[in-house]
Amino acid sequence: MFFGTDEFALETLKKLHEREKTCSIERLDVCCNKMKHLVPAVTKYSEVNNLNFHIWPPNIQQDEFDLGVVASFGHLIPSKVISKFPLGMINVHGSLLPKLRGAAPIIYALKDGYTTTGITIMKIKPKKFDVGDILATSELQILPDETRPQLTHKMAVLGANLLGDVLDDLDRYTTLAVPQSEEGATYAPVVNKSSAFIDFNTQSDVEVYNLWRGVGDLMKLRTSWKSTNTTTRFGVVLPPSVLADLGLDQAYPQAVPGQAVYLKPTKKRNYLCIKCREGWVAVQDIFYGTKKVMQPRDFYNGFLGRRTTKKSRKSGRSDSVTGSVSSDTDTDRSDGTSGSLASQIDSCQGSDEQFLFVKDE
């Protein structure tokens, strides 16, 4: 019997279903959670392929199935269920245990900047998540700009294939199973809305980008526009490397974390840049309060440019550190930087409180 819910689990179910078709598995039933507003991927696949389906908790008899297989299920399985399987239950887990025990190992691997992760096939034990003996592991590299959906698919395929290897020689893998060590154990609990809050005072450009890689497809990153105390969300955070040639720390040496600057270095490049504890990030798909999505130039026109113009007129200056913008007809310099950007850098005067993003509460 298979226990699972989401896209990660689906690849394992597909692998098991293939084995049922080739008669290497005599019978395959599926158990899944019932959700109010969402039909899980595993449920959809089971319905389309006419697999015997059970809502959690399953009403099954002792020894009705030989083995239970779990992947991204989300329930702590009690002893009374585990004991009904003569060969026990095994789990396809999305990390190299004991690192990243818990419900969201792929998210935390990205958020915490891991460069490698992997799959563990382990025995299910009652009362605690992800502490059972390890039957097999397989490592993979995380690419620098890989996001959660991309990494999830890679790991799901790896996990399904590794499970196939284990099932081909289950007795040997079970005999050679290794108890988990508590040394080096880390945890990856369920994420919620607060997981997407940005604190530019404590997070670097890489940390903000990695957070977006981990949760950006599930929820928008959140901050607050200080001058109006309005929640502002970002749909896209660009890799810090896109700003590497602009030298923003040198151009704005007095910028404070959270300070926003609009730049258009070339005709095809325009960014809303935000200072972090270290470095800068560029964001797109900006949602201010309940307003529709905005791009960097829209945000400049609505929130930076207007204020900058008023302040510049009052002070007699022609430009400001924040809110400077070049027009689409600006000529490019020989180094690829627009003339307007050069004037922004030359006119840097310091930070301005009204142009700050701060941590949302």
Residue that terminates a domain, selected from 143, 175, 207: 175
Residue 168's CATH number? 3.40.50.170
**Count of domains in the chain?**
2
Instruction: Quote the pLDDT of residue 37.
Output: 81
Statement to judge: residues 114 and 12 lie in one domain: yes
**Which region among 48-52, 196-200, 302-306 has the lowest average model confidence (pLDDT)?**
302-306
Pairing of strands 260-266, 269-275: antiparallel
Residue that terminates a domain, selected from 145, 175, 205: 175
Residue 273 in any domain: the answer is yes
Residue 282 in any domain: the answer is yes
Statement to judge: residues 51 and 150 lie in one domain: yes
Work out the pLDDT band at 338, boundaries 50, 70, 90.
very low
Angle, CA of 37, 55 and 52, to the nearest 5°: 115
Tens-place pLDDT, residues 74-131: 899 999 999 999 999 999 999 999 999 999 999 999 999 999 999 999 999 998 899 9
Statement to judge: residues 136 and 227 lie in one domain: no
Instruction: Quote the pLDDT of residue 20.
Output: 92
Report whether 26 contacts 167 (CB < 8 A): no
Statement to judge: residues 171 and 215 lie in one domain: no
Residue 252 in any domain: the answer is yes
Specify the 3-state DSSP secondary structure of 273: strand
More confidently predicted of 322 and 172: 172
Q: Which residues does 303 contact at the CB level (< 8 Å), separation at least 6? A: 225, 288
Residue 187 in any domain: the answer is no
Residue 327's CATH number? 3.10.25.10
Statement to judge: residues 144 and 6 lie in one domain: yes
- Could you tell me the residue range of the domain that residue 261 belongs to? 193-358
Statement to judge: residues 209 and 294 lie in one domain: yes
Tens-place pLDDT, residues 217-268: 999 999 999 989 999 999 999 999 999 999 999 999 999 999 999 999 888 8
Residue 230 in any domain: the answer is yes
Pairing of strands 280-288, 230-237: antiparallel
Structure tokens at 260: 């926003």
pLDDT exceeds 90 at position 311: no
Residue 9 in any domain: the answer is yes
Tens-place pLDDT, residues 1-44: 999 999 999 999 999 999 998 888 999 999 998 888 889 999 99
Statement to judge: residues 120 and 258 lie in one domain: no
DSSP characters over 145-171 = T--HHHHHHHHHHHHHHHHHHHHHTHH
